[in-house]
């Protein structure tokens, strides 16, 4: 199990809210810390990947799990160095 410094739940939210909440959460943590984010919007996968590529944050992992017959995407994102 990967360690993390902050958790973000965007289950049930549609684009662009998961990315906007992720951006805000990353602004609240220190460089090098890890954000664990949950999303149910399938579009969030490409959005989070593009966001990390554009901003320099590092996507450490992307996992899928099932919760009550709903696919949940779990991201571990490390905030870029200052």
Question: What amino acid positions are annotated as catalytic residues?
Answer: 15
Helices (H), 1-74: 17-27, 44-55
| CA–CA separation, 15 and 31 (whole Å) | 26
Q: Which helix (H) or strand (E) holds 59?
A: strand 58-67
């Amino acid at each position: 199990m990967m360690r993390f410094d902050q958790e973000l739940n965007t289950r049930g939210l549609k684009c662009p809210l998961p990315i906007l909440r992720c951006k805000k959460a990353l602004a609240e943590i220190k460089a090098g810390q890890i954000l664990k984010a949950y999303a149910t919007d399938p579009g969030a996968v490409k959005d989070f990947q593009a966001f990390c590529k554009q901003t320099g944050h590092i996507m450490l992992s992307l996992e899928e799990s099932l919760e009550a017959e709903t696919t949940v995407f779990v991201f571990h994102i490390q905030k870029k160095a200052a």
